[in-house]
A = this chain, B = another copy of it.
Amino acid sequence: MRYGQYCPVAKAAEVLGERWTLLIVRDVMEGAHRFNDLYAGLPGISRTLLSGRLRQLVGDGLLERREANGHPEYWLTPLGLDLQPAVFALGEWAVRNYGGDPGRDELNPEVLMLWIERHVNRDALPDGRLVARFEFRGSRQHTRAWLVSQDHSPRVCHDDPRFEVDLVVASDVRTLHLVFAGRLAMSAALREGSIALEGTMQARRSFTRWFGYSPFATAAREALAG
Interface residues of A (CB under 8 A from B): 1-13, 15-17, 19-20, 22-23, 26, 43-44, 61, 79, 82-83, 85-87, 89-98, 102-103, 105-108, 111, 177, 181, 214, 216, 219
Contacts and interface: CB of A to CB of B under 8 A. Distances in A.
A103 B13 CA distance: 16
Q: How many copies does the complex hold?
A: 2
Contacts of A44: 3-4
Contact of A111 (B5, B8, B90): B5
Contacts of A7: 23, 26, 91, 214, 216
- Would you call the interface of chain A mostly helix, strand, loop, or mixed? helix
A89 B92 contact: no
B108 A12 contact: no
Given A3-B23, A5-B106, 10 more contacts: A4-B105, A4-B108, A5-B23, A6-B102, A8-B90, A8-B94, A9-B23, A15-B94, A82-B97, A83-B93
